[in-house]
Amino acid sequence: MKKTTGYYMRVVHRYLGFFLAGIMAMYAISGTILVFRETDFLKRQVQHEKTIATNVSVEKLGSVLKIKGLKVNRQDAGVYYFKNGSYNSQTGEATWSKKELPYILNKMTHLHKATTNRPLYVLNIFFGVSLLFFVISSFWMFMPSTSVFKKGMLFTLGGIVLTLILLFV
């Protein structure tokens, strides 16, 4: 029996799907959580304390503490006050509080948002290419002459229309 392209597509689709089941679940969960990233959903208040160099300038304080968009509200006797925290420029002590996701959810969302600055970005590219393969290989799951395939084409058309609506609305 000659093995067709469809046969190989189904085999790879099946085993790649099993292999990536865990990462797909992680992306599904983290993607859903990222929808709420600008809210306090599932977040808890975490207190941070850090001793850094003394006399750090106001301009550099945010990058040293790794706080995006840090703005000093006021300064009093060498102590800089910013939203939810302070920095003593004479002792180098900084304290602040921040709302954060629980540890595992935080790790998941950071992996989901990986860029080329992170070493695991290659895995994100592999996962993206694998998802694209799933899209393409799904058209080889059933013979084109079957009613399942024809109904599948209607669902595909519906999904494309929904995608276009979401993109342009």
State the Cα–Cα distance between residues 94 and 79, nearest whole angstrom: 9
pLDDT digits (tens, 9 = 90+) for 61-92: 999 999 999 999 999 999 999 999 999 999 99
Task: Assign 26 a pLDDT band (cuts: 50, 70, 90).
Answer: very high
Q: Which H or E run includes 28?
A: helix 21-34
Distances in Å between the alpha carbon of 80 and those of 47, 59, 91, 163? 17, 12, 12, 48
For residue 3, how many other CB atoms are within 10 A of its CB?
8
Q: Which residues contact 141 (CB under 8 A, 6 or more apart)?
A: 9, 10, 13
What local confidence, expressed as pLDDT, does residue 120 receive? 85
13, pLDDT greater than 90: yes
Note the pTM of the prediction, 2 decimals.
0.76
Question: How confident is the prediction for the chain on average, in pLDDT?
Answer: 94
